[in-house]
Amino acid sequence: MLGVAPKTLTTFLSSSFPFISRNPPSYSHSHSHSHSHPKLSFSFPKPITITAVANPVHVPNRTADPLTPGQFRVDILSESLPFIQKFRGKTIVVKYGGAAMKSPELQASVINDLVLLSCVGLRPVLVHGGGPEINLWLSRLNIQPLFRDGLRVTDAQTMEIVSMVLVGKVNKTLVSLINKAGAIGSITAVGLSGMDGRLLTARPTPKAADLGFVGDVARVDPTVLRPLIDNNHIPVITSVAADEFGQPHNINADTVAGELAAALGAEKLILLTDVAGILEDKEDPKSLVKEIDIKGVKKMMEDGKVGGGMIPKVNCCVRSLAQGVRTASIIDGRVPHSLLLEILTDEGAGTMITG
């Protein structure tokens, strides 16, 4: 992106979203436009002091006087226009977890980014897990969490707690936060589990004998989601689903996000993680691979350059791309406004995998 440093852009975009309100069906302009466009209106706060801005925006025919805060904000918003046009009306599936879920500041960043993206015409869908919150409640109930090969052992008692925490607490907390952040622009969230509307049907994993009620996605039926998305709601989906006999299962949230993205024909799948992305050298945090195709990332896996917890994330991305998702990104959720960086700048915020 020209003119403005990406992090400067995302900071100003995120601070602007309370002043961007949506009121379909048309722009607030004297000329008529398509009814599919949201109404965008802008207002700006009282003047503030802006210092140390890298590469200030150049505007032809402007006087030598310094830009006012309002002018500067509008210039930054205008530079995001090509990206907004590219993704406008497109479905973006975001898997939310890790540090971005544990830190109140990062959580607020993600929530605000989702609302802003919805305000400017994108169609975000949020999928979440909640491992730390599950562990907290297991501890409060004096139940020791058990893991095998990085997967939670989920017996009947643990499954009840997983459902209680993910469906009843984490999901509704996120819905409430989005509703609060989106109040100005009438952006609302609707919380669902995989069991609602038979959105997801689970099947036991091959290791069910060792892991209990841990499942994979057997089938996706997005019928219940489409009217929500079409009416500008943000679906918030937790990774609990029932099998064909009605038994709830705990499913990996990355897997759920990937399968939902494919079923919805999403433009983009984004996995928020606690790492910078895929690294060429796992020991060198500066060796970030910014963009790679399926063939290239499979070669990295064969060469042992992708390992540990990154393997299931990459597999999830590759599977979604094979089913028609345009791009899949693994981004650093520890970076504030990483969603805006990934979607509204050339720089991005991690690794983008293409088909």
Residues 218, 203: contact at Cβ < 8 Å?
Answer: yes
Structure tokens belonging to residue 334: 């520890």
Torsion angle of the four alpha carbons 185, 325, 350, 252, in this order, in degrees rounded to the nearest 10: 90
Q: Tokens 């796992």 label which residue?
A: 282
CA distances to 92, 99, 209, 237, 320 from 332, in Å: 17, 9, 34, 21, 20
Q: How many CB atoms lie within 10 A of CB 201?
A: 18
> Residue 54 burial (CB < 10 Å; 0-12/13-18/19+)?
exposed
Which strands sit side by side in the sheet containing 268-273, from one edge to the other? 188-193, 233-238, 123-128, 91-96, 268-273, 327-332, 350-354, 291-293
Residues 288, 279: contact at Cβ < 8 Å?
Answer: yes
Catalytic residue annotation:
95, 98, 131, 254, 313
The span from the CA of 56 to the CA of 59, in Å, is: 10
The span from the CA of 39 to the CA of 26, in Å, is: 5
